[in-house]
Amino acid sequence: MEFSSEDLKQIKRQGLTMEEISRQLEDFTHGFPFMSVVKPATVGDGIKKYDAEQTADLVKFYDDNKDGYSITKFVPASGAATRMMKDFYSFLSEYNDEKSTPVSEFKTIKQAIDNIDKFAFYDLLVNVMNDKGIALDDCLKKKNYKTIIEFIVTDKGLNYGKSPKAWITFHKDSQDKHLMTAFEQHLKEAAEYASSNKNADIHFTVTEEHLPGFEKLKKELLPVYENKYGLKYNITFSFQEHSTDTIAVDTENNPIHDADGHLVFRPAGHGSLITNLDKIDSDIIFIKNIDNISSCYANDTAYNKKLLAGVLIQTKQKITSLMTKLKQRGLTKQDLVNIARNITKHLNITDIQDHTKFPTLTAYKQYLRELINKPVRVCGMVRNTGEPGGGPYFVIRDGETSLQIVETAQMCNSDEKIKKIIASSTHFNPVDLVVSTKDWQQNKFKLSRFIDYQAGFITEKSFEGHPIKAMERPGLWNGAMAKWITIFVEVPLETFSPVKTLNDLLKKEHQ
């Protein structure tokens, strides 16, 4: 593929190299291989489960030790609420009046209308409609449902259809009845489990266009929450970097240009946020999506987050102990065999090569050091209840078996063996992670070293009315962390409370 001089300049401005572009074009041509899944991870075989006493001990261990660590809560928050409002937009375009098309034919809308007073934003909706001289109760009596939905979705009222999820009022505080946006909920959560030394650091990834709105929220809320929890909050923001975008191609895998002759680049999914994560300089990092928050199960959430963090600290201590031993001189063959057994027992690394495969014990020592001197992720896993999303599996990668979070799309669903493996899985991934991105001597890892670049996706999109192919980078908690040390821990289903549609806010966990 020949690129013009203007193309080359644009690629450079994008922060990309021709080497990277060539690799992307190769991936479009050859695609990404399916994951070689061996079996699902289950309790006792890849997933740790702690009883009530053990959990309480780990929670206390975290609480007793957290002030010795710097902590950040990392929240991907750039998602717009557009998909949450899909059914509402369809209703606005298709509904005329109750006589021509009864609202009962729009199940999502009927559920929302029948429970309108149960939404935390109900009072806001009433007020914004009153400001325009419209009474919500009158609209209900006259079955003027379209007006109500317009005031929820469009800029006539709350404008939730064009807002980030972070700005939507999710809950009403059970104690003081304060209305809380998703953004505020994460400030509250940080105070409950992600603070140390009276400081709470939270990093949100946002879109550039919404940054002023986030800065405004921050300015308004910080004094309130600092006074409420006696903490000093440090809230920072970042964008998905343009250098992580990927080039778009046509169906023949040729780069496409827009009407102005510019190459077309597209954001490459949440896996690109590994670059943002790499810039966080904290000992412990909690990762949780902006919409995975609960009202009535908030205490359970905080408790189990502390559990995961306790497991992370203990795992890091074990790595430090093992690395210290491996630095000692005069280790015997049996010493190294014992260390290898401890690595398998405590770090879930099973495919450890035998010392006989190495020319010297020194070479074997170096191999073991490289095996465990990696970033660590402790991932909460919940029982499978049919929710969409990835799950925990044993996977063969580069000839070695490791624990990975795998999406269904990454597996060959036409393979009967794979179908049986998927059917026998017991848990799924709620995106509930606590991670360490520093080595045993507290030096920051370069996270790009631990990405499995063959764990991306090719998707079909359209551009200016024509079909195109787009690429998503390896997911943040999938391929982007593929070469990390992975610990899976079972956590209660109550800790998973995502808001994917507006009506999810009507579920028990959000009331």
- Concatenate the DSSP letters of all residues of 325-384 into one string: HHTSSS--HHHHHHHHHHHHHHH----PPPGGGSSSHHHHHHHHHHHH-S-EEEEEEEE-
If asked whether residues 194 and 281 sit together in one domain, one would say: yes
Looking at the structure of the chain, the number of domains it has is 2
If asked whether residues 152 and 169 sit together in one domain, one would say: no
The structure tokens listed for 167 are 């700005």
If asked whether residues 211 and 91 sit together in one domain, one would say: no
CA distance 452 to 448: 9
If asked whether residues 111 and 249 sit together in one domain, one would say: no
Query: In 3-state terms, what secondary structure has residue 412?
Result: coil
If asked whether residues 177 and 222 sit together in one domain, one would say: yes
If asked whether residues 250 and 271 sit together in one domain, one would say: yes
If asked whether residues 473 and 435 sit together in one domain, one would say: yes
If asked whether residues 87 and 181 sit together in one domain, one would say: no
If asked whether residues 157 and 265 sit together in one domain, one would say: no
Query: In 3-state terms, what secondary structure has residue 138?
Result: helix
If asked whether residues 54 and 117 sit together in one domain, one would say: no
Examine residue 1 and state whether it is found in any structural domain, yes or no: no
DSSP 166: G
Examine residue 348 and state whether it is found in any structural domain, yes or no: no
- Concatenate the DSSP letters of all residues of 50-108 into one string: --HHHHHHHHHHHHHHGGGS-EEEEEE---BTTGGGHHHHHHHHH---TTTS-GGGSHH
Examine residue 204 and state whether it is found in any structural domain, yes or no: yes
pTM, rounded to two decimals: 0.93
Examine residue 158 and state whether it is found in any structural domain, yes or no: yes
What residues make up the domain containing 133?
83-162
Look at the chain and count its residues: 511
If asked whether residues 289 and 193 sit together in one domain, one would say: yes
Neighbours of 240 (CB within 10 A): 21
- Concatenate the DSSP letters of all residues of 442-495 into one string: SPBP-GGGG--TT--EEEEEEETTEEEEEEEPSPTTTGGGTTSEEEEEE--GGG
Examine residue 363 and state whether it is found in any structural domain, yes or no: no
Last residue of a domain, one of 121, 140, 162: 162
If asked whether residues 43 and 97 sit together in one domain, one would say: no
pLDDT per position in the chain (511 positions), as tens?
689 999 999 999 999 999 999 999 999 999 999 999 999 999 999 999 999 999 999 999 999 999 999 999 999 988 777 888 999 999 999 998 888 889 999 999 999 999 999 999 999 999 999 999 999 999 999 999 999 999 999 999 999 999 999 999 999 887 777 899 999 999 999 999 999 999 999 999 999 999 999 999 999 999 999 999 999 999 999 999 889 999 999 999 999 999 999 999 998 888 899 999 999 999 999 999 999 998 877 889 999 999 999 999 999 999 999 999 999 999 999 999 999 999 999 998 988 999 999 999 999 999 999 999 999 999 999 999 876 668 999 999 888 999 999 998 889 888 999 999 999 999 999 999 999 999 999 999 999 999 999 998 898 888 888 899 999 889 999 999 999 999 999 999 989 989 999 999 999 889 8
Examine residue 428 and state whether it is found in any structural domain, yes or no: yes
Examine residue 445 and state whether it is found in any structural domain, yes or no: yes
Last residue of a domain, one of 162, 179, 199: 162
DSSP 503: G
Last residue of a domain, one of 132, 162, 192: 162
CA distance 284 to 377: 10
Q: Nearest to residue 207, comparing CAs of 78, 14, 74?
A: 78
